[in-house]
Structure 1
Amino acid sequence: MRIGFIGLGIMGAPMVANLDRAGFDVRGFDLAPDRPGRTAGSAKEAISGADVVITMLPDSPQVEEVLPDIVEYGGPDLLYIDMSTIDPGTSRRLAERLRALDAPVSGGERGAIEGSLSIMVGGAEEDFARALPVFHAVGKTIVHVGPPGAGQTVKAANQLVVGGTYALVAEAILLMEASGVDAAKGLDVLAGGLAGSRILELKRHSMVAREFTPGFRVDLHHKDMGIATAAARDAGLSLPLTAIVTQLVAAARAQGLGSLDHSALLKVIERINSA
Structure 2
Amino acid sequence: MTVIGFVGPGVMGRPMAANLVRAGHEVRVYGRSAESRARAEDTGGTVVDSVRDACAGAEVVFTVLTDGAAVLDAIDGEDGVLAAMEPGAVLVDHSTISPAESLRVHAAAAEAGVGCLDAPVSGGEAGAVEGALSIMVGGDADTLATVRPLLDVVGATIVHVGEAGAGQVVKAANQLMVAGHLQMLAEALVFLRAHGADLPAALDVLGGGLAGSTVLQRKRANMLEGDFTPGFRIDLHDKDLGIVTQAVREQGLALPATSLLSTLVASVKARGDGALDHSALYGLAAALNGIAVNG
Partner of 1:229: 245
Partner of 2:97: 86
Counterpart Cα distance in 1 of 2:151 and 2:208 = 30
Q: Is the 8 A contact 2:120 2:168 kept in 1?
A: yes
Counterpart Cα distance in 2 of 1:70 and 1:174 = 47
Q: Does 1:250 align with 2:266?
A: yes
SS at structure 2 position matched to 1:27: strand
1:205 Cα deviation from its structure 2 partner = 2.3
Q: Is the 8 A contact 1:225 1:246 kept in 2?
A: yes
Normalized against structure 2, the TM-score is what? 0.91
Q: Is the 8 A contact 1:104 1:119 kept in 2?
A: yes
% identity of equivalent residues: 48
Partner of 2:219: 203
SS at structure 2 position matched to 1:34: helix
SS at structure 2 position matched to 1:207: helix
Answer with 200-209 or 84-93: which moved more.
200-209
Partner of 1:133: 149
Partner of 1:21: 22
Normalized against structure 1, the TM-score is what? 0.98
Partner of 2:37: 33
Residue 162 (structure 1) aligned to one of 156, 171, 178: 178
Counterpart Cα distance in 1 of 2:157 and 2:258 = 25
Q: Is the 8 A contact 2:9 2:37 kept in 1?
A: no
Counterpart Cα distance in 2 of 1:230 and 1:122 = 20
Partner of 2:10: 9
> Deviations 1:99-148 (Å, cap 9, x if unpaired)?
21000000000000000000000001111111101100100100000011
1:229 Cα deviation from its structure 2 partner = 1.2
Partner of 1:267: 283
SS at structure 1 position matched to 2:196: coil
Q: Is the 8 A contact 1:50 1:74 kept in 2?
A: yes
Counterpart Cα distance in 2 of 1:136 and 1:269 = 38
Counterpart Cα distance in 2 of 1:205 and 1:23 = 34
Partner of 1:74: 85
Counterpart Cα distance in 2 of 1:213 and 1:18 = 23
SS at structure 2 position matched to 1:237: coil
Counterpart Cα distance in 2 of 1:203 and 1:254 = 22
Q: Does 1:107 align with 2:115?
A: no
Counterpart Cα distance in 1 of 2:251 and 2:146 = 31
Number of residue pairs the alignment of both structures matches: 275
Partner of 2:137: 121
Q: Is the 8 A contact 2:37 2:47 kept in 1?
A: no
> Deviations 1:173-204 (Å, cap 9, x if unpaired)?
00010111122211111001110000111111
Partner of 1:55: 63
Counterpart Cα distance in 1 of 2:177 and 2:37 = 35
1:42 Cα deviation from its structure 2 partner = 1.0
Counterpart Cα distance in 2 of 1:128 and 1:262 = 31
Partner of 2:112: none
- Is there any run of 5+ residues in structure 2 with no aligned partner, and where? 110-114
Q: Is the 8 A contact 1:184 1:205 kept in 2?
A: no
Q: Is the 8 A contact 2:30 2:54 kept in 1?
A: yes
SS at structure 1 position matched to 2:158: strand
SS at structure 2 position matched to 1:211: coil
Greater than 3 Å deviation, 4+ residue runs: none
